[in-house]
Chains A and B, each alone.
Chain A
Amino acid sequence: MAKAYRLIFDENLCIGCQACNVACRLENDVPEGVYRLQVHVTTQGVFPHLGMHFERRSCVMCDEPPCVSVCPTGASFQSKDGLVHIHESQCITCKYCILACPYHARFINPVKNVVEKCTFCFDSRLSKALDPACVSVCTTEALRFGDVSQENSTVAMLSRKETLLFPKAHLGTKPKVCFIPARKGVKV
């Protein structure tokens, strides 16, 4: 049966420590200078009325991925579970997908000279029923991952309880990565 993966990022729990970022680099051998995953921390407002915001920047695994339809070789594709992957051998580094991605999630791996992005650690972990590396190491358990169609999964329970925001939802991309927005601090 097809999975309905969801990754929930709770901004209230995230402390911007970059453990996820380093875990991703170590697990996926991401070369120096490029990132599959980062957390951006920004201070907003005017002293002393401030807010701090934490934003996960990575592929959001769209259900309607613009990067797949623009790919001229079929290197960018969507699996039956709706995950977006890249066949490295078919990638001609034309960069159409990089331009099409509204989340700026794709980049060229300078070592392999192919386009790369987050895969939810599919080969090394997800296909072995392990959580993605970022989720497993998160210092404050701000990341939750699972199958939202399973009623008792943590992500399903969280989805019922919390108001989830889907990044750039207006584009109709239907991301599988979503977030619980911060309840504290000034919002600009």
Chain B
Amino acid sequence: MIESYARRRFLQFSTAALSMQGSLRAWEPSILKGEDKWVRSVCEMCSSRCAIEVRVVDQKPVWLQGNAFDARMHSSICARGLSGVSQLYDQDRLRTPLMRVGQRGENRWREASWDEALAFVASSMQRLKQNYGAQSMLFSSKTGESFDLLSSFAANYGSPNTFSHWSSCPIAIESALEQTFGERAYRDFEHADYIVNFGHNLFEGLDIPLSKAMARFAANPSKKLIVLDPRFSIMAGKADEWYPIKAGQDLAFVLSLLHVWLRDAKYDHAFVRRYCIGLDALKASLKETTPQWQERYTGIDAKTIERLADEIYRAAPRCILDWGHKATTSPAEFQRTRAILIANVLMGNVEKKGGIYFAKTPEMLNVLLQEPLFPLLQSPYPAPEVGIARIDGAGEEGSAYRFVPKKHGVLNAIADAILTQQPYAIKGWFLTRHNPLVTVADPQKMRTAMASLDLIVVNDIYMSDTAMMADVVLPESTYLERDESIHLHHGLVPSYTMRNRALMPLRGTQSLRETVRSLADALGFGDAYPWKTMQELRAYQAKGDSALLESLVKRGYVQATIPPLFLREEASVRAFCERYAHVDLMRVSEMFERRRKTPSGKIELFCAHIEEAFAGYGVPCAVDMDVQHNYPYTLISGKSAIHTNAHTQNVPYLHALMSDNPLWMHPSTAKAHGLRQNDTCYIENEIGKEKVKVFLTEGIRPDTLFLYMGFGRQTPLLPKIDRKGSSASKLLPLKTAPVCGAMITNTGVRIVRA
């Protein structure tokens, strides 16, 4: 491949970025000797995908740290990231394919060779396709490379039924962004002066670059951080003001802020007039949502709302109302998140430094700079359109889930679809590192549904709760043992990352890519993939751009050093044009004037097509905020900095730090029930009953209870974590949030003495 001039320039920028990284220089000469090497890759201990480097001595990974080629990382890494080696060497990892011997879920297995296990999976899938149609197979994975791969596998097999983790996690946000802006938006925490945080616990659900920016923000005495959370989280601990808002009532709070701004005409009039649609509908909807009105919902007094509204307005546009990451607090989730986005819009912080911004994509920058500076990738995972409706109706006109992306689906709809065999026969499920018996609502019902399937295939590194229900369990290699494709990350400046393996698989495991590729061959559609090996895959994806590939193999992370560009920030646009003298100032400013990818082409305060399908949902208003349903307490749940959802509980280092998740309870609540520290009791509702251990703390509202996620497992083959702690999912109903189909993770419960 001949290296083009443009490409050379792109890589030159990356090298410039490197020379500023002193720490990296300091590392290399002193430690690199003999068998001692560094491999740069991407972490997978959670979904944040931080850039890492792995020190490998005599082919054994011995140390992990942040990859300083990503300047935001420096050498930082979290406890989970560091525990990648603890997971790698964990004796409890799956090491050979297992096939069910006894009844489904009975926990009787025999070891099988890869050839036998895959031949069984392929012939079973072929049989289901012949008898019931390919649509009778479901496929699920969290988003990322494994999801792209599995979606492609499903589509080529002929099933539309792929499920990502979205509907159990960020779908409300993704959906609200899509409907309001027609694209994703990002937050510039680094330069903001004022942030209102709605339970976005960045100090426990860690993403190193974002968490670091937030930590610097919170520690800066000249900035202001407001946190709303029923629980005194780490984030709340760093706030200037913490409001223990009643669970699920964020929407009422935001509606009253919007009310005050519209009442007093304190918003960016010019911005709204020029770029938005639906201000009148918004005004009409917010007439009654006064600061006094919201008091009974949130427990925050009206005077505070008036003061905060004034402070935020004065800080604008260097203010952010942070919509969070996973937010599924009430059925009104779509409304909550839209209201927060609209609050940002009224403050005119869009494409302003210290506000919110849209991705500067490679395509866009190549056009702007009039040369192909940024590599464009082609997908190695083709997924042809399958002309069959999904079991949940996602993306289908007239369906309750018409606004849910077809690709992602609604996890909460699976159990009922299997149990009723509606809209058609559902017989099989292929899951990769997905554990719905812990992470999806009403696992009792899901278990019953799974028991009735003909084929369950689980690809995982551990014998998860869900794997216990499988016919075939396929042992996957961990991320340290896997090479992967190139990932393009969007943001202010595009960056590219690539997972490079630090060692060959330790014990008889293989990657999902290898598994899927051999199954595709066995099922007769191997030729859908223009590659066989990883090298071929990467070359295909990079369109033969060997310079990019070489750079990613060495560095794991590549980013061009173009100046950050905020399209509505004059100084930023000017700096950009100074750097690229041939780019016309007007041309850059005009980038923001383009038609948006929404039905109206503008930022939609009011969404006509949503209103048409879901009356009362076109514009933010007070609907569906109740999560307590006449129970005395609301159970909420969240992430810890030690564990990732239902994935890491068995990792030795992390297990040693946190092996249980007692229920947070305010002392006055405990007293009312005659409970003391470490007592055992039950929480229950119409969905389930779960045993809990009491943890007394002042850091929670007396009407609220809290559990960290991922515990209360049923994994007899992982005795360390089997039946330790409690699972909040067992009390969650399958009801979903209108429009976006999100699982709702706050629910009403009562306390019952043991």
Q: Which residues of A contact B (CB under 8 A)?
A: 10, 12-13, 15-19, 21-23, 25-27, 32-33, 41, 43, 45-48, 50-52, 128-130, 136-142, 183-185
Contacts and interface: CB of A to CB of B under 8 A. Distances in A.
Contact of A137 (B77, B203, B212): B77
A139 B27 contact: no
B232 A25 contact: no
A45 B206 contact: no
Contacts of A139: 76-78, 206, 208, 211-212, 215
A46 to B, nearest CB: 6
Contacts of A18: 79, 641-642, 657
Select the residue from A15, A21, A128 with max chain B CB neighbours within 10 A.
A15
B203 A43 contact: no
A139 to B, nearest CB: 5
Contacts of B93: none
Contacts, number: 128
B721 to A, nearest CB: 15
B666 A15 contact: no
Given A48-B242, A50-B699, A141 B203 contact: no
B85 interface: yes
Given A22-B653, A47-B232, A48-B242, 8 more contacts: A12-B218, A15-B211, A22-B654, A47-B666, A48-B244, A50-B698, A128-B31, A140-B215
Contacts of B642: 18
Interface residues of B, number: 55
A34 to B, nearest CB: 10
B237 A52 contact: yes
Contacts of B83: 22
Contacts of A136: 23, 65, 75
B699 A21 contact: no
A47 B26 contact: no
B125 to A, nearest CB: 41
A142 B215 contact: yes
B208 A47 contact: no
B71 to A, nearest CB: 13
| B contacts with A: majority SS | mixed
B82 interface: yes
Contacts of A47: 232, 244, 666, 698-702
B666 to A, nearest CB: 6
Nearest to A51: B237
A137 B82 contact: yes
Contacts of B85: 26
Contacts of B203: 15-17
Given A22-B83, A41-B234, A43-B237, A50 B208 contact: no
B63 interface: yes
B206 A17 contact: yes
A26 B63 contact: yes
Contact of A43 (B76, B78, B211, B232): B232
Contacts of A130: 26-27, 30
A12 B238 CA distance: 7
A105 B408 CA distance: 50
B581 interface: no
A20 to B, nearest CB: 9
Contacts of B216: 13, 140
A46 B698 contact: yes
Interface string B694-712: 0001111110000000000
A137 B204 CA distance: 16
24 contacts: A10-B219, A13-B216, A13-B219, A15-B215, A16-B641, A17-B78, A32-B652, A43-B232, A47-B244, A47-B699, A47-B700, A50-B236, A50-B242, A50-B698, A50-B699, A128-B31, A129-B30, A130-B26, A130-B27, A137-B66, A138-B76, A139-B206, A139-B208, A183-B221
A43 B238 CA distance: 12
Contacts of A185: 237
A15 B238 contact: yes
A137 B278 CA distance: 48
B239 interface: yes
A183 B225 CA distance: 13
B296 to A, nearest CB: 17
Interface string B175-212: 00000000000000000000000000001101010011
A184 B239 contact: yes
Given A10-B219, A140-B215, A183-B221, A128 B30 contact: yes
Contact of B698 (A19, A45, A138, A183): A45
A46 B86 CA distance: 39
A48 B208 CA distance: 29
Contact of B232 (A12, A22, A50, A128): A50
B569 interface: no
Nearest to A54: B237
Nearest to B668: A47
A144 to B, nearest CB: 12
B243 to A, nearest CB: 8
A27 B63 contact: yes
A130 B26 CA distance: 8
Contacts of B242: 48, 50
Contacts of B36: none
Given A26-B85, A48-B242, A43 B698 contact: yes
B578 interface: no
Contacts of A141: 74, 76, 212, 215
A126 to B, nearest CB: 12
B708 to A, nearest CB: 14
